[in-house]
Structure 1
Amino acid sequence: MREESVHRTISTERAGAVGRSAPRPDGTLKVTGQFAYSSDLWVSGMVWGTTLRSPHAAARIRSIDVRKALALDGVHAVLTHEDVPGAKTYGMKVADQPVLAIDEVRYQGEPVALVAADDPRTAKRAAALVQVDYELLEPVTDAGRALDEATRHVHPGGNLVRHVKIRHGDVAAARARADVVVSGEYEVGMQDQAFLGPESGLALPTEDGGVELHVSSQWLHKDLEQIAPCLGLPVDKVRLTLAGVGGAFGGREDLSVHVHACMLALRLGKPVKMVYSREESFFGHVHRHPARMRFEHGATRDGKLVHVKAELLMDGGAYTSTSPVVIANACYFVAGAYEVPSAEIDGFAVFSNNPPCGAMRGFGAVQSTYGCESNMDKLARELGMDPLELRLRNAMTTGTVLPTGQAVDGPAPVAELLADLRDRPLPPPGSELLPGGLANTSRGEGIRRGVGYAIGVKAIGYSGGVDDISTARVVLSAAGGEPVVSVHTAAAECGQGITTVQCQIASTELGVSRVVVLPADTAIGDAGSASASRLTWMSGGAVQGACRLVARELLRRAAERTGRPVAALALRDEHVVDPAGTALVPIAELVGSGDLERVFEFHHRPTSTIDPETGQGDAHIAYAFAAHRAVVDVDVDLGLVKVVELATAQDVGKAMNPLSVAGQIEGGSAQGLGLAVMEEILLDEHGHVRNPSFTDYLIPTILDVPSMPISLYEFPHPDSPYGLNGVGEPPTLSSTPAIVNALRAATGLDLARVPVRPQDIALASG
């Protein structure tokens, strides 16, 4: 009964082949409201957990008194750091984040105590009765001052998370050769992933003293790696199953309810459910790093780049999370998608008493691409050159050597993507709503149109010597005389469509239309994270590999039966066929009464670490490129903006499912639009979040999202399954700077900071 209540129905699909727009098995359920997200899970006898969080950004904890909370009717348990059964801290890269605050709090919203009660309301009432005696400290909220000697240390080791240094070529000599040198300072605000499904999970104690956790996540095995030590349990007594995920975008890589729900379940011997409110969700996950950047570009008079110099400062907030790799990724792609013979790059990530920051779609490259593309437009103005022509003149190609010293050995169609956008007709004036939308605020008197371009490049997959891996188990069986394929991986379906792609790969490789994708869990080997635009490459490669092992055995059996050589046989339409396509024997007959099962581990090619002094090394396996052209209308008197069109040209290697690929590009572009003109978590001088709600944290609605024409290019990558490349992150790189470059073209203003607010335009124009 419990299993039926918890597990989602497995996804079954009459799968289409790779390259077709196969329907999503979860699509109908989601649009009709029948899909079971993690917040919908229920079992009989469960109790509800909630979290008491710090109202302060920096304070010592003198004492915690839980007696009043425990005395409330319906309360089952109140836990503090003293009740953590194992390791007191966890973390994605460094285990520095307390399960529950021990002797101090370092950001507003840090978990301090847990409550379990009969219902959510009682749990929240009890949490409010927990008495915490705080000694307030002066918070460190200005990242620019975090490294000053006089600034208080947020962490015992100091406020520097990581300094990334890249030295490529002779910058001094190159600078001397430059006819024109331009510099600019740019800033990116703190963006939230703003997923619609808040953090939630259901923990079930097991008879062997372990626990089973059903949770929305991006990386089940990394969760397990952190959870088990905190619970004081071996990993074989903790099992995670992916529950329905309502969006992620990097915000579910770090833990949220995971350890807390399991702690309560183990303490009580009862199932425990936790669901964050929308406000709590803003405190319960990491955000995009705010950044301050200084760029210098040098070029010859004819527009050839000779050097780039950049300094980046990122605010990592209170704990490490993925800040070390976010700042590294930002620095790797500071020079953009261009030929740059010399570069001097310094990137700093720092601790503060602001909310923790970590992974978000684009992972550092969003910030540096914004700075680079903004300064490229500034250089074009100084040269008196068309911004698109400047980009084409310096476009990266296959063989280009990056600032890290690595040569791009895969496709690099930068010029092709930019030329596509150049040749696309512009939308006619008056083809969209005026700025201000349906409110009819603008009347047309002060409206100006601008056009802007940008292109971005980002590495795909894990880098820097990490052995990226994904595992798949494929089972072929016969049911009712029909072959059925079951696919089992730990790949997290976050809405991006990996379930559908796994179906398509199995159908393509085995010639079988009925494919079942089992729920992702930790009973199968690691799939890695649903991040870095890697999952289709890695888990798709694992599924392909396992299917090909199954196919090899099928064809061997068919060769024995038919007397034909294996090389003359293929799998198609549920049969083994000859070269002419004639059906020879049904696949179901070859399977017989027993299942045919194979497991495959997929690894990408080795990479190397980056030299800490020079930043040189072959760190990456592949690169993805996307370009945008933005057309905007701006009411310069009111500061209102309407993005009329946001056209994209992107190389996807192979469009595994063209409809899903288009959806990923549209979604990434919309998030880039949000960062350009509306999305930002606002903090006061005390480190308090001022807008933890969708009333005050603005995200694009259907009225804000413009026409999004897309040109898909398929330049096959030589190292990937089917030649595919990552799709999800590149659109976030170039969409923001394209929009702001268009705003600059319309207004003539510098607009150095995103998001651009109405007052940035109206007050400056006035």
Structure 2
Amino acid sequence: MPNQTSPARTPQDLNEAITGGIGDSPLRPDGTLKVRGEYAYSSDLWAEDMLWGATLRSPHPYARINSVDIGRALKHPGVYAVLTHEDVPGENVYGLKVSDTPVLAEDVVRYQGEPVALVAADHPETARRAMEKIVVDYEVFEPVTDPERAAHDETLPKLHPEGNVVRYQPVTTGDPEASADVVVSDVYTMGMQDQAFLGPESGLALPAGDGGVDLFLATQWLHVDQKQTARALGLPVEKVRFTMSGVGGAFGGREDLSMQIHSCMLALHTGKPVKMVYNRQESFYGHVHRHPAKMYYEHGATKDGELVYVKAKMYFDGGAYASKTPVVVSNATSLAVGPYEVPNVKIEGWGLYTNNPPCGAMRGLGAVQPAYAYESQMDKLAKALGMDPVRLRQLNAVAEGSTMATGQVLDYPAPVAELLERLEKLPLPPEKGAEPVDIRGLPGGLSNTTHSEGVVRGVGYSVIVKNVSYAEGVDDYSTARVRLQAIGGAPVAMVHTAAAEVGQGLITVQQQIARSELGVERVNIHPADTNVGDAGSSSASRQTYVTGGAVRNACEAVREVVFDRVARRFGENSADLSLSGGKVVSLATGFVAELVDVLGDSAIEETREYHHLPTYKMDPVTGQSPRVHVQHAFSAHRAVVDIDTDLGLVKVVQLDCAQDVGKAVNPDAVIGQIQGGSAQGLGLAVMEEVQVKDGKIRNPSFTDYLIPTILDMPPMAVDVIERADPNAPYGVRGVGEPPTISATPAIVNAIRNATGLHLTHTPVTPEQICGV
């Protein structure tokens, strides 16, 4: 029975019972399984009597398909189906922002690796052998591979009916012809980067008795995949049901469709479950990459270092299809001057179609490329002024109340100067002394190539800005369903969203929010699927913000029902009630009731959405908008590098970071995100580049496409500050992407500082350092 004579409890008492809430760092429920190799990923799925699917891909970047002969493949023993574009039941086209991508190529292939036909067989090797028997007659064309030419050269073939420009966006403010005392300019290029997630594209499609299909897969956005797949299958959305399976990393590479439509087509055609799993080479062909870029930058400043103007022209190679190219152009142009106050701006950005591999979302979408350029420029400008590069950045840093180049006023903290100040205070690694050298810490030391001769050290800084959540008028929201009931004599909450756990720890964050809002220990997370409302994509550093907001709102609605029950049953004032430790408590009267008694046999379930502040499209002529982005995040890095100038080898000795996260919902996870993002930024700085020549990928494997390992990652000091955004749930600010962006220019600036070389391309290779 409820105890109505207990002494009144203080707010401090209410926090005693619950651990693992907001601000704590509880263990991830999937962590132990992943470390032990026991976690079930989508590639581990299995069904009785299932078939294996395979995809025939074009070997040519640009060609006409004259004919496709599937006869010999159909006759191959063990083959159940061979499908071409003629077998697509609905619309043979899909796309994230622009519907321009064929499910299966019809008369033209526009990139190497474009899907042409599908095979389903009783064994994966059988499917591959049958696939080799499909005969395609191609008429090969010369590919369009230069994005800058694609923007301006009308003599080139039009790869799509509208031409080769996906989006052109200018941003202008102030006097576009302003002059300055000191001017620096250069042309910067960035190579194509792969997301390099460990789990390949995979999924299992099961035909359903209602004529629909159920797909278990690894993705970043269940509902947008569902809608695109339903259109291609010619089915109503409710007959295409998607459920999230274990995801082995994403980083943007799973935003576009890969095997979703193909596996469902084969399952519906054969009436059997169909599993598809890409190998690593096919994965390089089968998902989008980071946009390569060419950027012309010019900065003008007074002799005292105040920025007067920034001009830039940026070309982004979107490859064969649009994917997220329109968003890349939007983000890049709106963030092109960085976290700096600049009165006069003239920016132009182009996103182009070419016959290179398709490019789309990758961590730091559209902000990575310009950040490399503007931070290189800030170091170059500091040198021209004879000024400390950190002081130059602090002198021009934005702050709360500053106006961005698009006209958006920062109505939340923007501690850019403070980040740099904190970064400078972090201790530097000891200088090399006379003591014996540990070769393991030298460039190439583990290969015994360097014994400290010809090794020079450099230090580099960077600070960047990144937008959080979707922008330009997108109704970016999430949905959460929360159920509270008594199970086994204890209150238990169930949280159900469609938000994709892609390794960032979102499951844990949802549990933390529910524990804090409902005051219960036990919180279960329902598998993410399309049976609940849309949660949007696990991208743009948005899920803790929007899905966290939706879970909070749903929990608040559940809590209100609980308080209403108590108020009506016991005559308490609901405004005085609180939930803590599985009890309903009144701070006013000392009333305490067991939550399980309040719930009884009836569960409380509420569904709520969270919509953030509205955003608005950029003006197509001026780029101006009162709020292009929901929120901006800021991150700064300091890199210390040792360079073997004889061999061109780079050793990142230390990589420190200071970042504002608004509110650290899970401090350990925040540190992990910063470390992981920094590793990807390091990879882009000195090793990661998809080599493309004449439209063909030359290194589609982790043997030839290098990514950082634990041996490449240096010690990191991470200074996390929390300046709450008043517009965001709990004051949170996106965490995962900013460190990826700021790590790269800091490392390249450090290499320049060590060598004095004029480096304008990333990744920096030994050939660049040695001048080969």
Q: TM-score range by the shorter chain?
A: over 0.9
Q: For 2:667, give the aligned amino acid.
A: P
SS at match of 2:757: coil
User: How many residue pairs end up in the alignment?
Assistant: 747
SS at match of 1:146: helix
* 1:57-68 matches, cutoff 5 A: 57-68=61-72
Which deviates more, 705-714 or 551-560? 551-560
Q: For 1:20, give the aligned amino acid.
A: D
Cα distance in 2 between the residues matched to 1:272 and 1:32: 28
Cα distance in 2 between the residues matched to 1:235 and 1:15: 40
Q: For 1:405, give the aligned amino acid.
A: G
Residue 583 of structure 1 deviates from its aligned partner by: 6.9
Cα distance in 1 between the residues matched to 2:514 and 2:391: 44
For the pair 1:125 / 2:129, whether they are aligned, the reply is: yes
Q: For 1:60, give the aligned amino acid.
A: R
* 1:58-457 matches, cutoff 5 A: 58-147=62-151, 148-172=153-177, 174-175=178-179, 178-430=180-432, 433-457=441-465
Deviation track 1:110-161 (CA, whole Å, cap 9, x = no partner) reads 0000000001000000001100000100111122222312212222221111
Q: Which residue of 1 aligns with 2:764?
A: 756
Change beyond 3 A, Cα 1:542–1:562: same
Cα distance in 2 between the residues matched to 1:156 and 1:547: 49
Alpha carbons 2:426, 2:717 under 8 Å: kept: no
Cα distance in 2 between the residues matched to 1:548 and 1:203: 37
Q: Which residue of 2 aligns with 1:551?
A: 559
Change beyond 3 A, Cα 1:583–1:349: same
Cα distance in 1 between the residues matched to 2:175 and 2:590: 65
SS at match of 1:261: helix
For the pair 1:36 / 2:45, whether they are aligned, the reply is: no
Normalised TM-score (structure 2): 0.96
Alpha carbons 1:575, 1:583 under 8 Å: kept: no
Deviation track 1:69-115 (CA, whole Å, cap 9, x = no partner) reads 11110000000000000001100011110000100110000000000
Cα distance in 1 between the residues matched to 2:597 and 2:355: 65
Residue 480 of structure 1 deviates from its aligned partner by: 1.1
Which deviates more, 436-445 or 387-396? 436-445
Change beyond 3 A, Cα 1:27–1:583: farther
Q: Which residue of 2 aligns with 1:640?
A: 649
Cα distance in 1 between the residues matched to 2:362 and 2:66: 35
Q: For 1:336, give the aligned amino acid.
A: G
Cα distance in 2 between the residues matched to 1:701 and 1:619: 37
Alpha carbons 1:81, 1:88 under 8 Å: kept: yes
* 1:691-706 matches, cutoff 5 A: 691-706=699-714
Q: For 2:713, give the aligned amino acid.
A: V
Alpha carbons 2:443, 2:651 under 8 Å: kept: yes
Residue 15 of structure 1 deviates from its aligned partner by: 6.6
Instruction: Give the alignment partner of residue 466 of structure 2, picking from 458, 468, 487.
Output: 458
SS at match of 1:570: strand
Deviation track 1:348-379 (CA, whole Å, cap 9, x = no partner) reads 11111000000000001000100000011000
Cα distance in 1 between the residues matched to 2:63 and 2:465: 41
Change beyond 3 A, Cα 1:558–1:131: same
Q: Which residue of 1 aligns with 2:681?
A: 672
Q: For 1:563, give the aligned amino acid.
A: G
SS at match of 2:697: coil
Cα distance in 1 between the residues matched to 2:352 and 2:404: 26
Gaps of 5+ in 1: 1-13
Cα distance in 2 between the residues matched to 1:581 and 1:538: 36
User: Displaced runs of 4+ in structure 1, greater than 4 A?
Assistant: 580-583
Deviation track 1:156-199 (CA, whole Å, cap 9, x = no partner) reads 22111111111111121x32xx1101101100000000000000
Q: Which residue of 1 aligns with 2:10?
A: none
Change beyond 3 A, Cα 1:417–1:248: same
* 1:15-34 matches, cutoff 5 A: 16-34=20-38
Cα distance in 1 between the residues matched to 2:126 and 2:90: 28
Alpha carbons 1:15, 1:515 under 8 Å: kept: no
Alpha carbons 2:318, 2:354 under 8 Å: kept: yes
SS at match of 2:598: helix
Alpha carbons 1:15, 1:514 under 8 Å: kept: no
Alpha carbons 1:437, 1:703 under 8 Å: kept: no
Cα distance in 2 between the residues matched to 1:104 and 1:622: 41
Q: Which residue of 2 aligns with 1:630?
A: 639
Cα distance in 2 between the residues matched to 1:511 and 1:437: 53
Deviation track 1:452-477 (CA, whole Å, cap 9, x = no partner) reads 00011011111111111110000001
Deviation track 1:184-216 (CA, whole Å, cap 9, x = no partner) reads 110000000000000001001111100011110
Q: For 2:635, give the aligned amino acid.
A: A
Alpha carbons 1:501, 1:657 under 8 Å: kept: yes
Residue 564 of structure 1 deviates from its aligned partner by: 2.5
Alpha carbons 2:63, 2:139 under 8 Å: kept: yes
Cα distance in 2 between the residues matched to 1:656 and 1:65: 57
Cα distance in 2 between the residues matched to 1:384 and 1:581: 68
Cα distance in 2 between the residues matched to 1:590 and 1:750: 71
For the pair 1:560 / 2:568, whether they are aligned, the reply is: yes
Q: Which residue of 2 aligns with 1:607?
A: 615
Change beyond 3 A, Cα 1:583–1:696: farther
Residue 581 of structure 1 deviates from its aligned partner by: 11
Cα distance in 1 between the residues matched to 2:527 and 2:423: 41
Cα distance in 2 between the residues matched to 1:303 and 1:581: 63
Which deviates more, 581-590 or 389-398? 581-590
SS at match of 1:519: coil
Cα distance in 2 between the residues matched to 1:675 and 1:163: 26
Alpha carbons 1:54, 1:108 under 8 Å: kept: yes
Alpha carbons 2:65, 2:137 under 8 Å: kept: yes
Q: Which residue of 2 aligns with 1:619?
A: 628
Alpha carbons 2:494, 2:526 under 8 Å: kept: yes
Alpha carbons 1:195, 1:246 under 8 Å: kept: yes
Normalised TM-score (structure 1): 0.96
Alpha carbons 2:445, 2:451 under 8 Å: kept: no
Identity of aligned residues (%): 61
SS at match of 2:264: helix
SS at match of 1:418: helix
Cα distance in 2 between the residues matched to 1:97 and 1:608: 27
Q: Which residue of 1 aligns with 2:542?
A: 534
For the pair 1:713 / 2:713, whether they are aligned, the reply is: no
Gaps of 5+ in 2: 1-17, 433-437
Alpha carbons 2:637, 2:656 under 8 Å: kept: yes
Cα distance in 2 between the residues matched to 1:518 and 1:497: 15
Alpha carbons 1:15, 1:503 under 8 Å: kept: no
Q: Which residue of 2 aligns with 1:7?
A: none
Alpha carbons 2:121, 2:127 under 8 Å: kept: yes
Deviation track 1:264-292 (CA, whole Å, cap 9, x = no partner) reads 00001111000000000001100000000
Q: Which residue of 2 aligns with 1:9?
A: none
SS at match of 1:89: coil
Q: For 1:674, give the aligned amino acid.
A: G
For the pair 1:518 / 2:516, whether they are aligned, the reply is: no
What is the root-mean-square deviation of aligned Cα atoms in Å? 1.2
Alpha carbons 2:310, 2:342 under 8 Å: kept: yes
Q: For 2:693, give the aligned amino acid.
A: D
Instruction: Give the alignment partner of residue 59 of structure 2, picking from 50, 55, 62.
Output: 55
Cα distance in 1 between the residues matched to 2:457 and 2:397: 27
Alpha carbons 2:95, 2:323 under 8 Å: kept: yes
SS at match of 2:172: strand
For the pair 1:485 / 2:493, whether they are aligned, the reply is: yes
